[in-house]
Amino acid sequence: MSPLVQSENQGRHKVLLFIGYGLSLACLVWLLHDFHVIQAVHAWANVRWDWVLLGIGCDLFSYVIQALRWKFLLAPFGEVRLNRSVRAVYTGLFANFVFPLRPGEFLRCYLLSNSEDITLGRVLGSVGVERFVDLVIATASLAVVSLLVDLPQRFQRVADTLGIVTLVLLSMVVVLILYLEIKLGTNPEPEVAHRKLPGKVMEVLTDLHAMGTATTFYAAVLTSVLMPACQVLGIWAVMRSYGLQLSFLAAIVVLLIINLGVSLPNAPANVGAYQLFCVLGLSVFQIEKTTATGFAFFAFLVLTLPPALIGFAASVHSGLSLSSIREKVSGMPRQQALRSNAQD
């Protein structure tokens, strides 16, 4: 990689860091400027720990389901061992907890690519498929909930916008699948395919076609439904432990709003953004700000620390330390660029 490109990447990274930490600080200032600590401590002291343990268990299990889905998606390229997939997912969670800008997504791909001898491009492509399927399921869930729950007008507009965007993307994917079925289903000669599309683009499309047409893709879709169901059950159980008598449908709305918020550039562990969007989600159901803020910090601790601790154990088992994780995360874009140049 040339020094100029490397310097541009470093500059972009610093800008994203500034935005992430700035947003986190702004969220915390807004949350804490009128926060009643004594009231929150009293609420924390009276939580029901049986519900908390249920919530933690459901949330932890959702990441095992995520690892199983990953195994199904990558099945066309090789036999992925579930224990390696689980370890990579939890190591990525630990990296997201410690470092800003969610580098764990790239780290888990790097680890699984090395351990299962599948190219990094294919593993990264499977994560893109994961995100698209998650978007479709989240939009469908929000559409169903909006029919059953009276949402404020501003949230209804967000739901409508998200639905339109998802429908456009889904239409593009359907057109792409039809194109691939026509071009790849007839087994064209490689040189014919490469004349119509650049080699790397055709390689990516071929990999996506392999994932989408494999019999294991249906199992991946099923697990894509089970994973958020476990996460919703987890946050609903924590709500019950805190004395918030909200419905399961309300928990779906709160989790969707949290997930939408933490998709932005963030500080480590989504500190600030998680709490802010949790409070915004609870405000839909008229939960006053101090109660909502106290719950947001409590839910953050009980639903973020356990997977981070397991992720730390997984990283140690993989022979990684904080310094080696930092080195791999900072070096991955450069390594990928070098591989691409070597292939050219």
Q: Are the C-beta atoms of residues 69 and 211 closer than 8 Å to each other?
A: no
Query: Which tokens in the block code for residue 168?
Result: 């456009």
The residue type found at 170 is L
Which one has a higher pLDDT value, 341 or 279?
279
- So what's the pLDDT on residue 198? 56
How confident is residue 22, by pLDDT bands cut at 50, 70 and 90? confident
- So what's the pLDDT on residue 62? 97
How confident is residue 208, by pLDDT bands cut at 50, 70 and 90? confident
In the predicted model, is pLDDT for residue 181 greater than 80? no
In the predicted model, is pLDDT for residue 328 greater than 80? no
pLDDT digits (tens, 9 = 90+) for 104-155: 999 999 999 999 999 999 999 999 999 888 988 888 888 888 888 887 777 7
Q: What value does the mean pLDDT of the chain take?
A: 84
In the predicted model, is pLDDT for residue 77 greater than 90? yes
Q: Are the C-beta atoms of residues 242 and 298 closer than 8 Å to each other?
A: yes
In the predicted model, is pLDDT for residue 313 greater than 70? yes
In the predicted model, is pLDDT for residue 176 greater than 70? yes
- So what's the pLDDT on residue 118? 93
How confident is residue 253, by pLDDT bands cut at 50, 70 and 90? very high
Query: Which tokens in the block code for residue 302?
Result: 């009980």
pTM beyond cutoff 0.95: no
Query: Which tokens in the block code for residue 288?
Result: 């006053």
Q: Are the C-beta atoms of residues 238 and 137 closer than 8 Å to each other?
A: no
Smallest CA-to-CA distance from 48 within 309, 302, 258 is with: 302
- Tokens 């600080």 sit at which residue? 25
In the predicted model, is pLDDT for residue 223 greater than 90? yes
Q: What is the C-alpha to C-alpha distance for residues 198 and 298, in angstroms, rounded to an integer? A: 50
